[in-house]
Amino acid sequence: MQNSNSFSLERLIAEARRLHLAGDVRRARATAEAVLRQAPRNLQALEVIALLEMEHGDLGEAIRLLKRIAKELPASAEAQYNLALAYRYSGRLELAATGFNLALKLKPELGRARAELADTYANLGRFEDLAQVCRAMIEAGPYNPRPYSHLAFNMPAALSEQDLALMTKAARDPKLQQGTKASFLFSLAEILRRKGMHDEAFAALKAANDLVRATLGNEAAPTRAIAPAGEKPRLTPPEVAATAHTQVCDYVRDTFTPEFLSKFGGHGERSRIPVFIVGMPRSGSTLVEQILASHPSVFGAGEIPDLSILTNMRWPYGGPSSDGGKRPKEPPAPLSTYFRDIGREYIARLRKIDAQASMVVNKMLGNYVHIGMIELCLPDAVVIDIRRDAVDTCLACYQRQFRTGHEFTYDLAAMGAQYRRYVAIMDHWDRVLPGRVLRLSYEELVRDPEPQIRRLLDHCGLPWSDEVLRFHENARPVRTASLSQVRRPISTASVAKWKPYARHLGPLLESLGDLAEANPMSLPRIDEAVKRSETLASSPRS
């Protein structure tokens, strides 16, 4: 018979997992630590702590704990999977691939390990291995949309006519979940686009985005936890996400005034190690990171959330006060150390990622709202804003399904509004911190690369290296939707890609307003495109 103490520990572990999945990080950690005080070697409690660290804390600590668990449970596919997932999140993708393969060897039916392995091979540019894994995924579950998506966007020639027929059938199947149908539609839209069938491609895109948007609207209480079963989607109803983003932007503009920055400036950590690339998704940020990471002195860390983690809910953040209460006017620590401590902790985290590089690039694009805090905590950090034509950027977002966040991308008008808020925030930084941010034009970069790359390296204080012009030969992992593009030489193929879709883009063009015409390469008669879109919408469908 199970003793009462053992039963009590099991209940505590179950409660820790429940709290974790509910997003109550503090109580989940406290409950798991209560188990460890009674049973310091309890691997289940250690797993909860490790998963919390993976998502909310220190990836290095998560890896240390998960290595310990995997060593003690060498025959556990789940233990090997969790360790591989931590390696993947930390950018150590070769180790991640080895771990996922080991998990599959121990448990061939562990589908989530095969799915993560496919993502990892795609990030590494190991497309032959990716094709093999995708075929195994299709064989295991023909109506799993993920392998078809990998092939459609990375190796469309690998899709057979039989594959395309199944994808078309799945997209129309009323029995399939909306999210599954949407994924098939995104992939079909990409195939149609490559065939030059732009009207048909946009019809598939609109259907896909409408399905996802409807799903998001029904997501009342999304989970925000990395569970043992793998990453859970971080999804919020679009209206809620837009309201939150508006509040953040307003709060940042109201807080980081010239007077505020002057009063609290001059106390940060002086270091040239950090580089931040900010902007909108699908704007060319991966290309800029790939160019920089091809320099011998630079490490490209990808999208790392450490700055947000370090500043979240710390002064002066926290957002507008819901109860109308006044926030402190001074940092809750001596001014001489408060911002420097945050900066030093950020540098320490970068050094856990790469101990030697002269500069480490963080491509978490949403850091554009944190530029004021970067100035105070890391005054010597480099900040680069990559700006692509607004319509091209938004259409490129509309063409992809994001696994987490970016709820604004599934509605053309909402996307235009988000883009306007981004530009407004960047205009604010230009006013209060003139010259602080280097702005690169994607169109100028791809049209005449060398002068723009020299300008980029000069701004970073880096000497010239011919390797940056051969960025496409760099085999470093790439963890964004642009992974296949940056493995090819630079080209203007992605400039003005919205033109064939112009008559469908009325809501986006209206939402963007003058920003739709800001780029000289945009079509001059935006108003005519809007009118054509309105005429198309009012016409009877055949």
Q: Are residues 250 and 208 in the same domain?
A: no
Residues of the chain with pLDDT under 70: 1-5, 7, 57, 217-235, 318-328, 403-404, 471-495, 518-542
Q: Are residues 378 and 245 in the same domain?
A: yes
Look at residue 258 and tell me if it is in a domain: yes
Of 427, 447, 472, the last residue of a domain is: 472
Q: Are residues 216 and 244 in the same domain?
A: no
Contact 481, 400 (CB under 8 A): yes
In this prediction, residue 493 carries a pLDDT of: 60
Q: Are residues 222 and 341 in the same domain?
A: no
Does an H or E element contain 121, and which?
Answer: helix 111-124
Look at residue 294 and tell me if it is in a domain: yes
Q: Are residues 253 and 384 in the same domain?
A: yes
Look at residue 226 and tell me if it is in a domain: yes
Q: How many CB atoms lie within 10 A of CB 424?
A: 12
Q: Are residues 370 and 228 in the same domain?
A: no
- Quick one: which of 139, 229, 152 has its CA closest to 400? 152
H helices of 367-524, in order, are 371-377, 390-398, 412-432, 442-447, 449-460, 506-512
Q: How many CB atoms lie within 10 A of CB 57?
A: 16
What is the residue type of 82? N
Q: Parallel, antiparallel, or unpaired: how do β-strands 382-387 and 230-231 relate?
A: unpaired
Look at residue 52 and tell me if it is in a domain: no
Indicate the burial class of 271 (C-beta count within 10 angstroms; 0-12, 13-18, 19 or more).
Answer: middle
- Length of the chain equals 542
d(C-alpha 437, C-alpha 479), whole Å: 24
Structural domain count of the chain: 2
In this prediction, residue 39 carries a pLDDT of: 92
Q: Are residues 407 and 339 in the same domain?
A: yes
What is the residue type of 48? V
Contact 446, 490 (CB under 8 A): yes
In this prediction, residue 215 carries a pLDDT of: 82
Q: Are residues 402 and 339 in the same domain?
A: yes
Of 235, 266, 293, the last residue of a domain is: 235
Q: Parallel, antiparallel, or unpaired: how do β-strands 382-387 and 437-441 relate?
A: parallel
In this prediction, residue 104 carries a pLDDT of: 97
| Tens digits of residue pLDDT in 312-357 | 778 998 644 444 455 667 888 899 999 999 999 999 989 988 889 9
Does the pTM exceed 0.75? yes
Look at residue 217 and tell me if it is in a domain: yes
| Tens digits of residue pLDDT in 50-102 | 999 888 767 788 999 999 999 999 999 999 999 999 998 877 889 999 999 99
- Quick one: which of 253, 283, 245, 210 has its CA closest to 405? 245
In this prediction, residue 406 carries a pLDDT of: 82
End-to-end CA, the chain: 70
What is the residue type of 222? P
Look at residue 440 and tell me if it is in a domain: yes
Between helix 77-89 and helix 111-124 the angle, nearest 10°, is 30
d(C-alpha 488, C-alpha 261), whole Å: 42
Q: Are residues 393 and 443 in the same domain?
A: yes
What the block records as the tokens of 233 is 């989607």
Look at residue 424 and tell me if it is in a domain: yes
Look at residue 134 and tell me if it is in a domain: no
Cα atoms in the Cβ-side hemisphere of radius 13 Å centred on 251 = 18
Q: Are residues 280 and 353 in the same domain?
A: yes
Q: Are residues 254 and 349 in the same domain?
A: yes
Q: Are residues 190 and 336 in the same domain?
A: no
Q: Distance of CA 124 to CAs 65, 361, 480, 484, 486, Å?
A: 26, 18, 11, 10, 12
- Quick one: which of 100, 118, 89, 363 has its CA closest to 231? 89
Question: Taking the mean position of all CA atoms in its chain, how far away is CA 525?
Answer: 34
CATH number at residue 364: 3.40.50.300
Segments forming the whole domain that contains residue 205: 142-235
In this prediction, residue 229 carries a pLDDT of: 41
Of 456, 472, 488, the last residue of a domain is: 472
